[in-house]
Every structure is written in C-alpha cells, then in structure tokens.
C-alpha cells in the first residue's frame, strides 16, 4: 500500500487512508465479480446480469477515490520541464496556482455530479435495481475530497514554504560575509 505522508492533520490523514482502502477494496471486488462472470458465462453457460453495472459502479469508486488521494499525495501527472528551469519562488507560485485550479476543478466535479444525480434519480440501473443517481455518487464525493485535499496541500505548502524561507534567511544572516563570497 502507498505510504501516506505525515502531516499535521490527523483527520485528513485518516480520510485519505480510508479513501485509499476503499479504492483498493473496490478494485479487488470488481476483479472478483468480473472473474465470476467469466466463469459463469464460459463454464456454467449462463450470464450474471448484475455484474457489468456493479463493475462499472466499483470502477467509478476506485478511479475517483484514487484520484483524490493522488491530489493529496502529489501522485498526479505533471510537466516538470518548467520546474527545472524556474527558481524555487516561481515553483512555489506555480504550485499554488495549480492547487487552486485543482480545488476549483473538484468543486465543478461535485456540482455537476450532483446535477447529473438529480436528473437520473428517477431512472433505474438495470441488473442492480437501484437509482441511476448512484452512478454519480463517486463524482460528488471525490470532487469534495479533491477540493479538500487541494486546499490542504495549498495550506501545507504555504506553511512549509514560509518556514523554508525563514530558515534560509536565518542561515544567510548567520553566515559571515567571508563565507558567502
């Protein structure tokens, strides 16, 4: 399992860990039921009607919960070329802008997931017999998590950035001028 990086927020640590475990459980469960479907179809010669819609539900959960934890732990894809060319202060500004955009994106995911859930509340997922709105619950919940985790990273990076700037300033003041040159 991925090691969650320590932070000052125990509640968010537990939330991220729970999301990661839920995503892993959904992936394992999806694998098991798809395997059962293959066995049922090709060995027993009948098809389980509930497997495909449930597998899609589980896939939504593990993809979106994994994405939320990826935002928190900085596991998402990125272009690092500019990071190598830019000074540290510019990198911190780019990171802050990126986290703000990701937080807004999370809000949009939640909002539009809610809109889709409202529109599909009266429909029924065939094979499962549950409301079509359940297809969009992973969007809504992970959008909230993405926003919360992005804001936490923004705050955490801001606090660490200030601490790093203070330590550099203290080291610079403590260093005799003969060593600086």
2 lies in a domain?
A: no
Q: Which tokens is 123 given? A: 């429909």
Q: Are 23 and 138 in contact (CB under 8 A)?
A: no
The rounded mean pLDDT for the chain is 85
140 lies in a domain?
A: yes
pLDDT of residue 164: 55
Q: Cα separation of 91 and 61, whole Å?
A: 32
pLDDT (tens digit per residue) in 131-159: 999 999 999 999 999 999 999 999 888 86
Give the residue-averaged pLDDT of 37-61.
93
116 lies in a domain?
A: yes
pLDDT > 60? residue 11: yes
Query: Does an H or E element contain 179, and which?
Result: helix 177-180
Is residue 30 left, alpha or beta, with left meaning phi > 0 and alpha meaning psi from -120 to 50?
alpha
4 lies in a domain?
A: no
Residues 6+ apart with CB under 8 A from 61: 22, 23, 26, 138
157 lies in a domain?
A: yes
Give the number of domains in the chain. Answer: 1
Residues 6+ apart with CB under 8 A from 64: 138, 139, 141, 142, 143
5 lies in a domain?
A: no
Quote the crossing angle between the two packed helices 88-119 and 137-174, to the nearest 10°: 170
Strand partners, 93: none
DSSP, residue by residue, 136-172: GHHHHHHHHHHHHHHHHHHHHHHHHHHHHHHHHHHHH
> Half-sphere exposure of 146 toward its Cβ, with a 13 Å CA cutoff?
29
pLDDT > 90? residue 160: no
Range of the domain at 36: 10-180
pTM above 0.95, yes or no: no
């Amino acid at each position: 399992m991925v090691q969650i990086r320590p932070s000052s927020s125990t509640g968010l640590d537990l939330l991220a860990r729970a999301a990661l475990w839920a995503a892993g459980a959904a992936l394992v469960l999806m694998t098991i039921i798809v395997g059962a479907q293959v066995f049922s179809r090709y060995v027993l010669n009948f098809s389980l009607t509930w497997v495909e819609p449930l597998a899609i539900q589980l896939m939504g959960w593990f993809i979106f919960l994994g994405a939320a934890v990826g935002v928190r732990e900085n596991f998402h894809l990125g272009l690092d070329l500019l990071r190598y060319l830019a000074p540290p202060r510019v990198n911190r500004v780019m990171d802050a802008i990126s986290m703000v955009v990701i937080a807004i994106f999370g809000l949009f995911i939640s909002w539009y997931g809610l809109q889709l859930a409202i529109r599909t509340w009266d429909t029924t997922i065939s094979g499962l017999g549950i409301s079509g709105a359940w297809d969009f619950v992973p969007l809504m919940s992970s959008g909230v998590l993405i926003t919360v985790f992005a804001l936490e990273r923004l705050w955490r990076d801001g606090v660490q950035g200030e601490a790093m700037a203070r330590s550099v300033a203290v080291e610079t003041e403590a260093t005799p001028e003969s060593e600086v040159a």
